[in-house]
């Protein structure tokens, strides 16, 4: 079974002290796609992120970055960029992989709320597996796999950690089976980290007023 290295996260970071409240406000996810995805892929992707995160207590509002006015205020947010083609047309029966399936940006040891999901790489990694499903099911299976990659990256951002788990959504590398299996969840330790981490500060202005 081939494995693929998951993220590029560098450096160390200071821990947060405060914790999330018992009721979590929805987190806003701003999305942008290099190529518009089929509706079936996008719906399955969002449904999987929500399914994985809902029992942890995290909920999301999805917004198209291109249609955002620029004056919106969110308590917590992340910006997600989907790279390459996110469809299931023209799959071929061999597996290819060329690096990380997703990655989250880090600067000066701080995890930033910017993450990328490599649609092309997930597609090429899974395509032999996707071909074993009936054609009408492939968008759903592929979208669900993209959702798992995104859930992993959101874990880094909202648990504010570079830690990886040994099993489940937080592990460092995924197999084809992880991405295509019927059930894939966070383990208890990472669930607790997501529940007890402090909310990210709102985006700060950079103008010096001190
Ligand atoms: Zn990772």
What pLDDT is stored for residue 201 in this prediction? 54
Q: What is the mean pLDDT of residues 77-95?
A: 94
Kindly state whether residue 44 falls inside one of the protein's structural domains. yes
Tokens (6 digits) for 154: 């959101």
Higher-confidence position of 181 and 95: 181
Total tally of structural domains belonging to the chain: 1
Task: State the distance from the centre of ligand 1 to the C-alpha of 164, rounded, in angstroms.
Answer: 6
Kindly state whether residue 204 falls inside one of the protein's structural domains. no
Kindly state whether residue 208 falls inside one of the protein's structural domains. no
> In whole angstroms, what is the distance from residue 130 CA to residue 126 CA?
6
Task: State the distance from the centre of ligand 1 to the C-alpha of 80, rounded, in angstroms.
Answer: 15
Output the domain CATH number for residue 53. Answer: 3.40.390.10
What pLDDT is stored for residue 199 in this prediction? 57
Task: State the distance from the centre of ligand 1 to the C-alpha of 198, rounded, in angstroms.
Answer: 19
Per-residue model confidence as pLDDT tens digits over 138-149: 999 999 999 999
DSSP annotation of 184: -
Kindly state whether residue 205 falls inside one of the protein's structural domains. no
Q: Are 152 and 178 in contact (CB under 8 A)?
A: no
Per-residue model confidence as pLDDT tens digits over 142-175: 999 999 999 999 999 999 999 999 999 999 999 9
- In the structure, what pLDDT confidence band is assigned to residue 95 with cuts at 50, 70 and 90? confident
Burial (CB count <10 Å: 0-12, 13-18, 19+), residue 97: middle
Task: State the distance from the centre of ligand 1 to the C-alpha of 156, rounded, in angstroms.
Answer: 7
Task: State the distance from the centre of ligand 1 to the C-alpha of 88, rounded, in angstroms.
Answer: 25
The percent of residues in the chain predicted with pLDDT above 70, rounded, is: 81
Residue-number span of the structural domain to which 50 is assigned = 3-8+25-195
Q: Across the chain, how many H-helices and E-strands are there? A: 5, 7
> In whole angstroms, what is the distance from residue 134 CA to residue 136 CA?
5
- In the structure, what pLDDT confidence band is assigned to residue 20 with cuts at 50, 70 and 90? low
Kindly state whether residue 16 falls inside one of the protein's structural domains. no
CA nearest to 180, candidates 131, 124, 142: 142
Kindly state whether residue 73 falls inside one of the protein's structural domains. yes
Task: State the distance from the centre of ligand 1 to the C-alpha of 210, rounded, in angstroms.
Answer: 36
- In the structure, what pLDDT confidence band is assigned to residue 54 with cuts at 50, 70 and 90? very high
In the predicted structure, residue 104 carries a pLDDT above the cut 90: yes
Strands 77-83 and 27-33: parallel
Task: State the distance from the centre of ligand 1 to the C-alpha of 157, rounded, in angstroms.
Answer: 10
Q: Are 61 and 46 in contact (CB under 8 A)?
A: no
> In whole angstroms, what is the distance from residue 1 CA to residue 199 CA?
37
Kindly state whether residue 161 falls inside one of the protein's structural domains. yes
Kindly state whether residue 139 falls inside one of the protein's structural domains. yes
Cα four-point dihedral sign 56, 188, 102, 70: positive
> In whole angstroms, what is the distance from residue 119 CA to residue 101 CA?
8
Task: State the distance from the centre of ligand 1 to the C-alpha of 114, rounded, in angstroms.
Answer: 13
Task: State the distance from the centre of ligand 1 to the C-alpha of 61, rounded, in angstroms.
Answer: 23
DSSP annotation of 171: B
Give the side-chain half-sphere CA count within 13 A for 200.
Answer: 25
């Amino acid at each position: 079974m081939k494995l693929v290295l998951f993220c590029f996260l560098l450096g160390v970071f200071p821990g947060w002290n405060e914790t999330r409240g018992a009721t979590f406000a929805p987190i806003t996810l701003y999305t942008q796609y290099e190529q518009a995805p089929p509706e079936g892929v996008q719906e399955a992707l969002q449904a999987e992120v929500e399914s994985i995160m809902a029992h942890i207590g995290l909920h999301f509002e999805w917004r198209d970055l291109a249609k955002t006015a620029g004056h919106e205020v969110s308590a917590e947010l992340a910006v997600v960029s989907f790279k390459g083609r996110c469809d299931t047309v023209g799959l071929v029966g061999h597996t290819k992989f060329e690096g990380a399936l997703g990655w989250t940006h880090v600067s000066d040891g701080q995890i930033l709320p910017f993450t990328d999901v490599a649609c092309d790489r997930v597609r090429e990694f899974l395509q032999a597996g996707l071909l074993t499903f009936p054609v009408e099911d492939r968008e759903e299976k592929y979208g669900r796999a993209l959702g798992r990659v995104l859930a992993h990256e959101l874990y880094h951002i909202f648990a504010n950690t570079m830690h990886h788990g040994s099993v489940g959504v937080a592990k460092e590398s995924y197999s084809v089976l992880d991405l295509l299996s019927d059930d894939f969840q966070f383990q208890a330790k990472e669930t607790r980290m997501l529940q007890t981490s402090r909310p990210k500060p709102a985006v700060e202005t950079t103008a010096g007023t001190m």
